[in-house]
Structure 1
Amino acid sequence: MKTVIFDLDGTLADTSGDLIAAANTCFRDMGAGDLLKPDVDQGTALRGGRAMLRLGMARLGRPEDEATIDRYYPVLLEAYGAQIDRFTTVYPGAMDAVEVLKGRGYGVGICTNKPEGLAQLLLQNLGIRDVFGSLVGADTLPVRKPDPEPLFEAARRAGGDPRRCVLIGDSDTDRNTARAAGVPSVLVTFGPAGEDMAALEPEALLEHYEALPDMVDRLLT
């Protein structure tokens, strides 16, 4: 079986609002207030918890304070898990495209650098976990993206041949993962870093999810 494997944050769903809220919980605990803004810092949020903590520490004039970042990372994860879907929304047309792909015989799965437990919780709360045949998170295997093995494992768990898959993503991490795996990548242009995606030279750029099924047909012929 051919498979279509999706990144989660910034690709299937805009999770930035809840991620930023969790990071600001940490900064408030430091006595610094809300250092991150949802309308400004989406791109950093979608790169993960440590990236947000580093940005906040830089704004405090402490960009090298890795000890504080390490101390607050578990605090951030706990805060995020407690309010994981307050602001998160699935991108328009994403689930319709997934259903069309399944109808055409593709397996579908998720490969994310979000911890697996949090990814499971989010997808369950959004009511879409059962739609996907696999979910591989940052801690599912000993390695994470851009190592290709999590992508291969997501394809295998979705019932597919890992060499006959395409990765849908939104970052250089996704592009590098697909390149390392020797499979095509599609990068979305509707996220906060969308204008930067063309420079990564993926096999295709996706502006709207309704175009994805035909795009996948072309890439996996």
Structure 2
Amino acid sequence: MSPVQNIIFDLDGTLIDSAPVFVQILNEMLRERGSARHVGLTEIRQFASLGGPALVGGVLAQECGDLRQEVVDFRARYALYKTPFESLYEGVAEGVKQLTAHGYRLAICSNKPQQLCEKVIGDLELTSHFPVIVGSSPDRMAKPAPDLMELVMSGLGTTPAECLYVGDSEIDHALAGATGVRFAFVTYGYATDQFAADQCEQFSRFSDLVQFLKEEREPLHPARGVA
């Protein structure tokens, strides 16, 4: 089996917890539609890994008119929010720097729209660590269809045997299986309690994933440490 050279990450529920921002936006939308309902983190997290239409439709089912227009409204509002650094899961900011220093190439494969993926990573000042970022667009089939992962691998110039996909949901697990990419499951994300990713590495903290990967290879510049 080829050694892993490329670490491909899901975004929401894996690198960032976007649920608090989603709560703010969706409660704004509920108020503006005259609803007295208020949604919280627990309700949002059950939809957070399913993509915008499922999230907006699931939360605004009672108040929703044209779902497509509601999703457009939601995403336009989201684009105005600067992603707070505290949305990063513990250990992610330092961890991606360490993985880069150890010679891994990092990428993003997410169902979040392309421009929002790029914005979020830019807001968090991590763009230099992710040379390939692939999100959804109208002409791309969403995960778990293989389209997005195939675009990532094409951008990296690599094969499934040299990749590890890190994700937090049933969709991520299915995508890895559909593309022949090894999978690592982070248990702190949005997966349901009923989901159990078998036959793969599992990590309850991002720092544990990083340590596991660092032990697989030497750093590029051991004497310099991590920038």
TM-score using structure 2 length: 0.81
User: Which residue type is aligned with residue 120 of structure 2?
Assistant: L
Segments of structure 2 that go 5 or more residues without pairing to the other structure are 218-227
CA distance 1:219–1:142, shift in 2 (3 Å): farther
CA distance 1:57–1:193, shift in 2 (3 Å): same
3-state SS, counterpart of residue 111 of structure 2: coil
In structure 1, what is the Cα distance between the partners aligned to 2:182 and 2:117? 24
The match for 1:8 is 11
Tell me how far 1:212 sits from its aligned partner. 1.4
Aligned-pair RMSD on alpha carbons?
2.7
Tell me how far 1:45 sits from its aligned partner. 2.9
The match for 2:220 is none
CA distance 1:207–1:42, shift in 2 (3 Å): same
Tell me how far 1:178 sits from its aligned partner. 0.2
User: Which residue type is aligned with residue 161 of structure 1?
Assistant: T
In structure 2, what is the Cα distance between the partners aligned to 1:219 and 1:168? 16
1:23-172 correspondence runs (5 A): 23-58=26-61, 60=62, 67-86=65-84, 89-139=87-137, 142-172=140-170
CA distance 1:39–1:147, shift in 2 (3 Å): closer
Pairs aligned (count): 214
Instruction: Map Cα deviations across residues 106-160 of structure 1 (whole Å, 9 max, x no partner).
Output: 2110001000111111111111122112100011862221122311322332353
Tell me how far 1:169 sits from its aligned partner. 0.6
In structure 2, what is the Cα distance between the partners aligned to 1:145 and 1:125? 24
In structure 1, what is the Cα distance between the partners aligned to 2:165 and 2:108? 9
Identity of aligned residues (%): 26
- 1:20 and 1:45 in contact (8 A); partners too: no
- 1:107 and 1:160 in contact (8 A); partners too: no
TM-score using structure 1 length: 0.83
Instruction: Map Cα deviations across residues 156-183 of structure 1 (whole Å, 9 max, x no partner).
Output: 3235334420110111110010000111
In structure 2, what is the Cα distance between the partners aligned to 1:94 and 1:87? 10
In structure 2, what is the Cα distance between the partners aligned to 1:115 and 1:202? 30
CA distance 1:160–1:86, shift in 2 (3 Å): same
In structure 1, what is the Cα distance between the partners aligned to 2:190 and 2:12? 11
In structure 2, what is the Cα distance between the partners aligned to 1:218 and 1:179? 25
CA distance 1:124–1:76, shift in 2 (3 Å): same
Question: Which structure's residues are more often helix, by fraction?
Answer: 1
In structure 1, what is the Cα distance between the partners aligned to 2:183 and 2:128? 24
The match for 1:187 is 185
User: Which residue type is aligned with residue 159 of structure 2?
Assistant: D
Tell me how far 1:48 sits from its aligned partner. 2.9
In structure 1, what is the Cα distance between the partners aligned to 2:206 and 2:30? 36
